Structure 1
Amino acid sequence: MTRILLTLLLVISNIVLSQNKLNLIPYPQNVQLSEGSFIIPDILKLDANLPKNETGYFKKRLNSTLKFQDSKQSEAELVYVPLSKAQTENKEFYSLTINSKQILIQSHTQQGYFLALQTLIQLFEEYKEVGKIPAMKIEDHPKFAWRGMHLDVCRHFFTVDEVKQYIDYLAMYKLNTFHWHLTDDQGWRIEIKKYPKLTQIGSKRKESMIGAYVDNTFDGKPYGPYFYTQEQIKDVVKYAQERHITVVPEIEMPGHALAALSAYPELACTKGPFESATKWGVFDDVFCPKDETFKFLENVLDEVVQLFPSQYIHIGGDECPKTRWKECAHCQELIKKNNLKDEHGLQSYFIQRIEKYINGKGRKIIGWDEILEGGLAPNAAVMSWTGVNGGIEAAKAKHFAVMTPGAYCYFDHYQGDPQSEPNAFGGFTPLDKVYSYNPIPAELNAEQAQYILGVQANLWTEYILDFKQVQYMIFPRLMALSEVGWGTSDPKNYKDFENRVISHFKILDKMNVNYAKSIYNISGKVIPSNNGIAYELSTSQNPNGIRYTLDGSTPTINSEIYQNPVSIPSSLTIRSAYFEAGQLKSAVSSQQFTISKTTGKKITLEQQPSENYSFGGAFTLVDGIIGNVKQLGKTWLGFQGKDVTATIDLGQKTDFSEVYFNTLENKGSWIHLAKSAKIFVSDDNKDFKMIKETGKEEIQNAKGKIKLNLGKKNARYLKVIIENAGIIPAGNPGADSKAWLFVDEIGVN
């Protein structure tokens, strides 16, 4: 009987331990907690066999928590025992065993040892105040080989020390690839000794766009010259290598080349002159595919491969307008000479020629998914950013792919309520959305899935002026990316992850990192309710702390306590905030509602919006929220190359006389006003009669803010067809590409 009771107690003990999840990010593959604990000593003894470089990093990270001394004693000691290749071939595998006397790390490589140290650092940070770490055994390895973060230093430049800090953040959360975006229209940031004008001229611009794109305002201040010398680049690469991070350089071609062309205009299809771009967006002047250009790029790449030992060299390949190539006699002759189908075939010719040269250097190319245009180069890998289709196409063709779709992995998007966030590029990518991403597309079978190298997030810096803002945009989303790449994310247990994130904030506080606190703020979601709408409020904290007002006033501790979704019966402004112990703990969130006869009604779309701009789906068009023209997050739906065909069920035959909606114009970002709009009505949802049509001229005159007077009408069903501008015409950024159409709210009065 006693033996049975002891066994039962042991089982219960193990169950309790298993429920005490550690505050580790990314969470390990296998954690076994056991009885006992490791008392954190004043001085941690270090085994003589510890790898020196990685151990030096460990000591530096914990120098304010622990003192260290070298010793061969086993008491309160950190010990390393290498594993043989026969025991594990996984270079990133590690085992971490903690008992009352000793911390034991085992791995096949120093990289595995370094990853174990990251876990151990987090444990010391978590338990230093308690004074002891639970006994445990962790066996761990990542799911994906490529776990990356990108940094654009062209739109805004960051110093060597700041880039090193960025690399440190990647190391903390077990990312292993730093994608360094070094050239673009707005600046050339890498010293090339054979071509000094690239940095003498191309590393500066006369001014910079400021504020929202639609404002079209500039600061009037010269920017630069800013670039990295080759010695600085070698220093950064060495720094990253010491942290087991691969630096992948990006040299953009054939598009995004204005900075290079400003220095060497003879590489263009036209004579120029050119200057580094002062605006953001996409520009028609690109590299001309002539022998002189290829010789230039080959010479540039000769120096690049000497600086970067990475297996892959990123050659961009994205957003290359074909306008100049269509008008260029040399390009047209090249198309005929090589039996190319068109300018897209010429892009493929360009990429394949560069790939052949890089392959000859023992390296491989990787590019954005536009390198699929006209046919993929034989050995190229694809970085899938416009969605997941590029990665799917590559994997099915047995090419490697890195998944980085904008909808989940663009950290220049808003991460909280756009109205309380710093200005961002657009989109809405909160922490939970990043965490929900699965890099393996459902369309791939097991064999094809093996070609998915991993996942990466990108940080474009049009609206990021300094490094504090870099920190704000990547944290805490980098933590979600880390767990996705490690392969242990579980969207069903997001709340557990969120709690672990909050526990890590104290580590970031200690490091003086300016992280976003958006998860503390009130999150609002419009939901259908009683043939209308209600506003659902939530917070990562105790929901009893939410206070709100409906008259537009600032909420106080004495304001209405949030309990259930708030009904929105008429046009009003709801403001909300989170309070704790009588003190305001969040930003004040504000949402204005404009109620019409379509608000909250059932709506269907014939074609769905782009993933990047699809928050709320079709319901966004009847949620009572008018979009802010300066903020493309949350309140707009974006359609590339597609019309909007929306059918709204008013529930019963209804009198109305006006339809309104808004579209946007931002040609630099390929966003064009609607070409036309048609209004139809029906009583049976089958036979529709057109009652109003408006054309391009009227829409332009209204600057996209459309109000159509219909006269007195009565119907149950309303169909609105808003026509996309189609293919962008010559003379515009992105010419020959599909235009974007943005729509916010379809209202009826």
Structure 2
Amino acid sequence: MIPRPALLNDLSGSCELTSGATVSGDLADAVRLALPTLDLRPGDSGDIDVRRDPALGPEAYRLTTGSRGAEIVAGGRAGAFYAAQSLHQLLPDASYRFSTGAAWPLPGVRIEDAPRFAWRGLHLDVARHFFPKREVLRLIDLMAMHKLNRLHLHLVDDQGWRVESRAYPLLHEVSSHRPRTATNYYKEPDAYDDLPHGGYYSLADLAEIGAYARSRCVTVVPEIDVPGHASAILAAYPALGATGERYDVLDRWGISPAILSPLPPTVEFLTTIFDEVIGALGETPYVHIGGDEVVLDHWAESAEINAYRDSLGLATTNDLQAWFLRRLADALAERGSRAVVWDEAFVSGGLRQDTLVMPWRGMGVGRRAAAAGHDVIATPVFPLYFDYAEAASADEPMAIGDATTVADVAAFAPAPADWAEEERERVIGVQAQLWTERVPDARTVDYRLWPRACALAEVAWSGAAAPDFTGRLREHLGRLDAIGVEYRPLAGPHPWQRRRPHRPSGVQVRDVMDRIDAMTHSAESTRPSV
């Protein structure tokens, strides 16, 4: 079973669970939704009985199975949903395939379980390569199966804007597509495919994604990354930039000097965008506003921006960036959402105390954020950037570098034991990132995420992977096969998953901090090199 429950004891009894079995209780809808292939029916009494116990946490549950069927006691809807996911993993792999009239042996067990971390996340970059709504909904299903509960959607970057705006329609009309895409490996000469790429989610799509996720106990975290990474925005509305010049939607990877202006019209623009995104998604407790890899040169060179900075009583452009991000966080707070930022924004200083920090450059800066009283979601490049290859092999599809293995993910400690207790308590979760510069399609998403995301799920739910994780993972792959997930086999890629052209030797991920230092100078700095 993945993730491994806190307590699992075998019992002597067993029973048979048939397709079309009945489920009863006030949380029965959550169980039915978690077990779609079983086609469960509601009833006054059932083969699966569900009841609520307010003494349990909202995601906690007890599951008992035996000769009388299954009994679930849950603290809330999420607990019942996760209990059903555990119940499903007690059944044969074939139960993950839809079939009518099937009967499955259900062994007797007692499970008592609750998550270690509240935030158990996956990040999907839909800006560099767009993935249509159907792929997002499928990812939500896979997350729910693994008890992951935060879907971080990176909706905008230099290479594309991915959501409809009725207030600023040029965003989806102009900024959602580019004429070509870079195909070169890291630091190779530029090469392009000369194929148009684009797409965006309508507000109706976003509303559906939000509702679908909530029904499966997943919270969508939209990211509007500002003030840098702004080429796509400035392709549509150049007046929002620091210089007023028009940019093209970027067709290559890397960091751009394009930056939004911090002046009031930009704040008004972004608060309008927040209203549209939050209004479409529905309940949106978190909004990510980025703050990473910002090149502040155009701010420093602008007399108008310098005069505005002086009027605010700020000494430096870094202070102005901190003010700008706090102003956006204040606007989000007025709308009932907490701001989330990458760690450069923390280094800039001036954050609202309730802002969550994602330390992508390493847990050292994460510890400093925790010590400063910020809630932290562990997101370090190693081992949680899944755009890195899983092996240092020329057979691996193109990746940014080598290699982050399943074992590396399983060994990760989100709240290190050598931290002070109050610092550990500030780590509220863990999240893996899938940046998609070199992930052009849904099949590659499957390959990059799974089974590393299985290890993530274990660490996020249990706090650490158990010693028997590898053995359980081998059994778990049969479930992924039944669902149709095109994961990377543990022994290496299938022939059709290999990268056919020879690729040059990649960057070693264990040397990744050298590369991060080259991009951002150090975790003390907020300024990247371009």
- Which residue does the alignment assign to 1:563? none
Q: Contact 2:18–2:104 at 8 Å: present in 1 too?
A: no
Give, in angstroms, the shift of residue 738 of structure 1.
6.1
| Residue of structure 2 in register with 1:39 after alignment | 15
Alignment of 1:145-544 (within 5 A): 145-213=118-186, 214-224=188-198, 226-308=199-281, 309-378=283-352, 379-490=354-465, 493=467, 496-517=468-489, 519-521=490-492
Inter-partner Cα distance in structure 2 for 1:72 and 1:163: 35
Letter in 2 for 1:639: D
Deviation at 1:53, TM superposition (A): 3.2
Bigger RCO (CA 8 Å, 6+ sep)? 2
Q: Report if aligned partners of 2:65, 2:71 keep a CA contact under 8 Å in 1.
A: yes
* 2:35–2:88 contact (8 Å) kept in structure 1: no
Letter in 2 for 1:289: P
Moved more, 183-192 or 378-387: 378-387
- CA contact 1:144–1:486 (8 Å) conserved in 2: yes
CA deviations on 1:474-526 (whole Å, 9 max, x unpaired) are 000111000100125346x1xx2112111111111112211001x2249xxxx
Indicate the residue corresponding to 1:561 in structure 2. none
Q: Determine the structure 2 residue equivalent to 1:639.
A: 514
Report the alpha carbon displacement of residue 427 of structure 1 after superposing the two structures with TM: 3.9
Closer, same or farther: CA 148–636 of 1 in aligned 2, 3 Å: closer
CA distance in 2, matches of 1:641, 1:507: 37
2:111 paired residue number: 138
* Partner amino acid, structure 2, of 1:119: S
Amino acid at match of 2:364: N
SS in structure 1 of the partner of residue 92 of structure 2: helix
Task: Report the Cα offset of residue 447 of structure 1.
Answer: 2.1
Contact 2:382 2:510 survives alignment (8 Å): no
CA distance in 1, matches of 2:442, 2:528: 34
**Aligned equivalents of 2:35, 2:418: Cα separation in 1:** 46
Structure 1 segment 652-671 matched on structure 2, within 5 A: 670=519
Q: Secondary structure at the match of 2:67?
A: coil
Residue 393 of structure 1, CA deviation: 1.6
C-alpha change, 1:45 and 1:71, in structure 2 (3 Å) is: farther
Q: Deviations over 1:593-634 (max 9, x none)?
A: xxxxxxxxxxxxxxxxxxxxxxxxxxxxxxxxxxx8552136
Greater fraction helix:
2
The answer for the alignment partner of 1:28 in structure 2 is 5
Match of 1:78 in 2: 48
Tell me how far 1:640 sits from its aligned partner. 5.0
Could you tell me how far apart the structure 2 residues matched to 1:434 and 1:189 are?
Answer: 30
* Distance of aligned partners of 1:478 and 1:277 in 2 relative to their CA distance in 1, 3 Å threshold: same
CA contact (8 A) 1:95 1:137 kept: yes
Q: What's 2:33 paired with?
A: 57
Q: Distance in 1 between matches of 2:471 and 2:496?
A: 17
Distance in structure 2 (CA, Å) of the matches to 1:131 and 1:358: 48
Q: How big is the alpha-carbon RMSD for the aligned residues of Structure 1 and Structure 2? A: 2.7
**SS across alignment from 2:299:** helix
SS at structure 2 position matched to 1:34: strand
Tell me how far apart the structure 2 counterparts of residues 140 and 468 of structure 1 sit (CA, whole Å).
33
Instruction: Answer yes or no: is the 8 Å Cα contact 1:29–1:488 preserved in 2.
Output: no
Secondary structure (helix, strand or coil) at the match of 2:423 reads helix
Q: Distance in 1 between matches of 2:172 and 2:212?
A: 24
Alpha carbons of 1:352 and 1:321: their partners in 2 closer, same or farther (altered >3 Å)? same
Tell me if structure 2 keeps the 8 A contact 1:94–1:140: yes
C-alpha distance in 2 between matches for 1:33 and 1:736: 55
* More strand by percentage: 1
Contact 2:34 2:216 in 1 (8 A): no
Using the TM superposition, give the Cα deviation of residue 637 of structure 1 relative to its aligned residue in structure 2, in angstroms: 6.3
For 1:112, the equivalent position in structure 2 comes to: 79
For 1:520, the aligned partner's letter is A
CA shift in 2, pair 1:443/1:640, >3 Å:
farther
How far apart are residue 215 of structure 1 and its match?
A: 3.4
Q: Secondary structure at the match of 1:341?
A: coil
CA distance in 1 between counterparts of 2:472 and 2:264 reads: 55
CA separation of 1:144 and 1:276: change in aligned 2, threshold 3 A: same
Distance in 2 separating the partners of 1:415 and 1:362: 39
State the identity %. 32
Distance 1:130 1:193, change over 3 A: closer
Count of residues in correspondence between the two structures: 516
Any conservation in 2 of the 1:418–1:633 contact (CA below 8 Å)? no
Change in Cα spacing, 1:287 to 1:82, as seen in structure 2 (3 Å) is same
Residues in 2 aligned to 1:329 and 1:587: alpha-carbon distance in whole angstroms: 53
Going from structure 1 to structure 2, the CA distance change for 1:130 and 1:57 (only over 3 Å counts) comes to closer
Residues 641 and 449 from structure 1, CA distance in 2 versus in 1: closer, same or farther, beyond 3 angstroms? closer
Contact 1:401-1:451 at 8 Å conserved across structures:
yes
| Paired residues of 1:380 and 1:399 also in contact (CA < 8 A) | yes
Letter in 2 for 1:54: A
Contact 1:43 1:69 in 2 (8 A): no
Alignment-mate amino acid for residue 102 of structure 1 = G
Where do 1:670-689 residues align within 5 Å?
670=519
Partners of 1:447 and 1:404 lie apart in 2 by 19
Does structure 1 conserve the Cα–Cα contact (< 8 Å) formed by 2:94 and 2:482? no
Q: Which amino acid aligns with 1:444?
A: W
Residues 47/168 of structure 1: CA separation in 2 closer, same or farther (3 Å cut): closer
Query: What secondary structure is seen at the aligned counterpart in 1 of 2:447?
Result: helix
Relative to structure 1, is the Cα distance of residues 737 and 158 closer, same or farther in structure 2, using a 3 angstrom cutoff? closer
Contact 2:392 2:402 (8 Å CA) reproduced? no
In 2: Cα distance, 1:148 partner to 1:26 partner: 14
Contact 2:343 2:361 in 1 (8 A): yes
Mapped contact 2:117–2:463 kept (Cα < 8 A)? no
Q: Which whole-Å CA distance do the structure 2 matches of 1:261 and 1:588 have between them? A: 37
Q: Which residue of 2 aligns with 1:597?
A: none
Larger radius of gyration: 1
Alignment TM-score, normalising by the size of structure 1: 0.65
Asked if the contact 2:227–2:260 (Cα under 8 Å) also holds between the matched residues in 1, the reply is yes
Which stretches in structure 2 are left out of the alignment for 5+ residues?
Answer: 96-101
Moved more, 476-485 or 26-35: 26-35
Where in structure 1 are there 5+ consecutive unaligned residues? 1-23, 523-583, 590-627, 643-668, 672-725, 728-733, 740-749
- CA 275–586 in structure 1, closer or farther in 2 if over 3 Å, else same: closer
Secondary structure of the 1:356 match is helix
